[in-house]
Amino acid sequence: MTRRTWRTAVVVVPAAGSLLVASVVTASADGDRSGIGGDNHRTGNMIFVHPDGTDLAYWTAARAYWEGPDGTLNWDRLPESVPYRGHMADQLTGTSNGGATTHAFGYKVDGPGSFGQDTGAADVLAGDNLVDGEPVARPIVGLSGYPGSWLREAGNAGHPIGVVNDGDIAEPGTAAFLTEVGERTDAAALEIARQHIQGRPGFDDADADPVVVMGGGEELFFPEGTPFCTAEEVDAARSGSGDPVATIPATCVVHRPAGDTLPEAEEPAETGGARTDGLNLAQAAVDEGYTLVRTREEFEALADAVDSGDVDPAGLKVLGLFADEDIFNDETEESLIARGLVDPSVPEDAKETNLVLYGSEPGTPGYQPPTAPEMAELATAVLTAHADEAGKPYATVWEVEGTDNFANYDNAIGSLVEARYADEMIAVARDQVADDPDTLVLTAADSTAGGMELNGYNVDEEVPETVGSVDVNPALEDEGALPQNVLDGRYGRDTEPFLTEPDQFGQQLPFGVAWAGTPDFYGGILSRAEGLNADVLDEYLDQRFDNVDVYRLAYLTLFGDALTYPEGQVSPTRPDDVDVSGLTPGTPTG
């Protein structure tokens, strides 16, 4: 890779619970009031990886299952680490939309009522911002004073930007960095998708286009009643058109809901699309120069064309839509089996399971969609080429959302497979640091999903055929039988135990997975980092690192400015009369 003159920063953030909080700031001898070492004019790429819902126990489980109790994950190899604090302005537990908005804007916001905006009033304890008794979200400015997230500020300052998510495009872990809607609803998801392509209200075309947008959520890009692509249309695209990458035209919907073509399907959909405004957003994206890819075959053809030089990534904008909604199928193991989402081509004893955890069933265009690390690898090729062309570092946010969603359904194997993909995504980010040390990789999660723990069995004793359950709450013992916490085995409840990879003695140790519940919980998250400015975690943020500090590290890396932690401050309301043409992104106003 050609060496650049800037430095790159990669940030990995596990959703729901990242622990980035700066210490209360006092001026140092050299006048630094930021608490993170003062301005550092060496700038570089910023990669923010957000394995949603993952805490230390989650990573411990992933390590044991995939590498063995004595093994090493890519996550383990990130050299800097610090506990993460992720509380909101109005509640202890972080929400996906509130955590993402805090990561993106640099202020603590209301947990429920925020999505690139904030319902919190100037006095946090006074409650929500009310209009006629109803909470209304306020457009806000970022910590630098810019009316937008650090990712939007970077894009509008000429830095190539992009997002990757294995949920749908409207997932807040990435979407709150590019869109501003104030709430997380199905109706808002349509506007979230639109803003990715056509910019935010008041900015519109003045918002620089992200050069990479990849995830699920195809239905958000097509009007209601759009026909599904026929086999003839898909085959015609596959046969090629003379172009380096043949793609399916944006006149039909590729993806049906998972299981829609199986005999167990109750009411197969007749048409696709969810937009109620009549806008074919997919075609609008193509008209704006995006290459639209929706199947593994199209994705691999594009990746191969980039690798071979048949397609110049510096002139490429990618819109990947690899499922109708989320790319993963976040249900219990029992539900997937009952719905027939089992892949007969995969052995039942396969370590990764034969359940269809991603995409749609065999024989459909959505079968075996690209994984999170595969999308990240193509994204870095495109972003790096654009960065070389622009002469500025790139900024990107990657989220593995399924680590959160599978755990919220207490689906153990789904959670473990997603953790592996999150780890492989971190490996892609670490490769960028190896290629260009001027890159920061930072990880965090806004909360911990499900409260995963492992219950092990002694290999010197008889290992049970199925995982069974464990006692909970002995205070209730006098009232009858103890309540039970039902464990998960390889295929859900009352199935055989998992086996770790061999430990240092060559033993594969059996275990079942226990869950504290289905919600997101607070605490136990460890943020890790490598590359440019990673040492800030150990040198300045070792005592307190919270969700606000994700913004500060990103800003320091991209723009070289060390911003002061907003102690006791909530997000300022954005003025109504923002002059977009007069903005100078990349220059703090505070």
Where is the binding site for Zn(2+), in residues?
404, 446
Separation of alpha carbons 84 and 443, rounded Å: 10
Residue 111 · residue 180 · CB < 8 Å: no
CA 583, chain centre distance (Å): 29
Q: What residues are designated binding site for Mg(2+)?
A: 401
Residues in the chain: 590
- CB-based burial label for 131 (10 Å; 0-12, 13-18, 19+): exposed
What Å distances lie between residue 163 and 47, 72, 196, 209, 426, CA to CA? Answer: 10, 27, 10, 11, 15
Residue 533 · residue 393 · CB < 8 Å: no
| Cα Rg of the chain (Å, integer) | 23
Handedness of CA 196, 198, 199, 200 (dihedral sign): negative
Q: 139 in helix, strand or coil?
A: strand
Residues 6+ apart with CB under 8 A from 529: 11, 12, 78, 79, 80, 81, 440, 441, 442, 443, 537, 553
Separation of alpha carbons 373 and 425, rounded Å: 4
Handedness of CA 443, 194, 189, 264 (dihedral sign): negative
Q: What residues are designated binding site?
A: 401, 404, 446
What DSSP letter does each residue of 11-31 carry, written as one string?
A: EE--BEE----PPPP---TT-
Residue 529 · residue 442 · CB < 8 Å: yes
Residue 64 · residue 454 · CB < 8 Å: yes
